[in-house]
Structure 1
Amino acid sequence: MPIYGDLINNGSFTAGTTGWWAGNPAMVTLAADPPTGGLATASTDALNLYDAVFGQDGITLRAGAAYTLSFTARASRAGVAMRVAVGLGQEPWTPAEERLVTLGTVDTTFVMPFVSPMSTPKGQLTFQIGQESSVTVTVTEVRLTTCTVREGFYTDPDSNAAKWLRANRGDVRAPMIERSLVSQPGAHWFGDWNKIADVEANVRSYVTAAADAGQLPIIVAYAMYLRDNNGESSGGMKSADLYRQWINAFAAGIGDRPALVVVEPDSLAQAEYLPQANRAERYELVKHAAQVLAARPLARVYLDGGNATWLKPVDMALRLQKAGIASAKGFAIAVANFDASDISCAYGQQVVQELTRLGIPGCKFVVDTSRNGHGAMDTAGQHVDYCNPAGRRLGAPSSIGAGGAEYLLWIKVPGDSDGKCGVGPDVKAGDFSPYLAQRLIEGW
Structure 2
Amino acid sequence: MDESKAAIGACAVFALLMLGSAAAPVRSSAEGHTESNIFTTQPLYVSPDTSASRAVIRYPEDARDISVIADTPQARWFDSSASPESVQRYVVDAAAADAIPVVVTYGIPHRDCGSYSAGGFTDPGQYRAWIDGLGTAIGDRTAAVIVEPDALTATTCLDPADTESRLDMLRHAVSVFADLPHVAVYLDGGHSRWLSPPDLASMLAAVGVDRIRGFSLDVANFFSTAEESAYGETVSSLLGGKHYVIDTSRNGNGPAPDAPLNWCNPPGRALGDEPTAQTDDAHADAYLWVKHPGESDGTCDRGDPPSSVWWQAYAVDLVRNSGR
Q: CA deviation at 1:153?
A: 0.3
Report what 2:52 is aligned to.
161
Q: CA deviation at 1:327?
A: 1.5
After superposition, give the CA deviation of every residue in 1:291-338 in whole Å (9 maximum; x if it has no partner). 101111101000011100111111111111121111111000010010
Identity %: 35
Q: Which runs of 4+ in 1 moved over 3 A?
A: 147-150
The whole-number CA distance in structure 2 between the counterparts of 1:265 and 1:220 is 8
Partner SS, residue 331 of structure 1: strand
Which moved further from structure 2: 257-266 or 400-409? Answer: 400-409
Give the direction of change, closer, same or farther, for the CA distance of 1:339–1:384 in structure 2 (3 Å limit).
farther
Is contact 2:56–2:62 with CA below 8 Å preserved after alignment? no
Report what 2:24 is aligned to.
none
Alignment of 1:37-436 (within 5 A): 149-166=40-57, 168-170=58-60, 172-178=61-67, 180-194=68-82, 199-271=83-155, 274-355=158-239, 361-378=240-257, 385-400=262-277, 401-404=279-282, 405-421=284-300, 425-436=303-314
Partner SS, residue 244 of structure 1: helix
After superposition, give the CA deviation of every residue in 1:57-99 in whole Å (9 maximum; x if it has no partner). xxxxxxxxxxxxxxxxxxxxxxxxxxxxxxxxxxxxxxxxxxx
Q: Which has the larger radius of gyration?
A: 1
- TM-score by length of structure 2 reads 0.83
- TM-score by length of structure 1 reads 0.61
After superposition, give the CA deviation of every residue in 1:385-410 in whole Å (9 maximum; x if it has no partner). 11000111000111013234111100
After superposition, give the CA deviation of every residue in 1:117-166 in whole Å (9 maximum; x if it has no partner). xxxxxxxxxxxxxxxxxxxxxxxxxxxxxx85443100121111112223
Larger RCO (alpha carbons 8 Å, 6+ apart):
2
Partner SS, residue 406 of structure 1: strand
More helix by share: 2
Is contact 1:420–1:428 with CA below 8 Å preserved after alignment? yes
Q: CA deviation at 1:193?
A: 2.2
After superposition, give the CA deviation of every residue in 1:325-373 in whole Å (9 maximum; x if it has no partner). 1111100001001000000001111111222xxxxx2310110000000
Is contact 1:165–1:174 with CA below 8 Å preserved after alignment? yes
Q: Which amino acid aligns with 1:443?
A: N
**Alignment RMSD:** 1.8
More strand by share: 1
Q: CA deviation at 1:277?
A: 2.0
Give the direction of change, closer, same or farther, for the CA distance of 1:429–1:337 in structure 2 (3 Å limit).
same
The whole-number CA distance in structure 2 between the counterparts of 1:282 and 1:436 is 34
What number of residue pairs does the alignment pair up?
283
Q: Which runs of 5+ in 1 are unaligned?
A: 1-146, 356-360
Q: Which amino acid aligns with 1:240?
A: P
Q: Which runs of 5+ in 2 are unaligned?
A: 1-37
The whole-number CA distance in structure 1 between the counterparts of 2:117 and 2:248 is 20
Give the direction of change, closer, same or farther, for the CA distance of 1:439–1:220 in structure 2 (3 Å limit).
same
Is contact 1:156–1:187 with CA below 8 Å preserved after alignment? no
Is contact 1:376–1:383 with CA below 8 Å preserved after alignment? no
Partner SS, residue 47 of structure 2: coil
Which moved further from structure 2: 386-395 or 413-422? Answer: 413-422
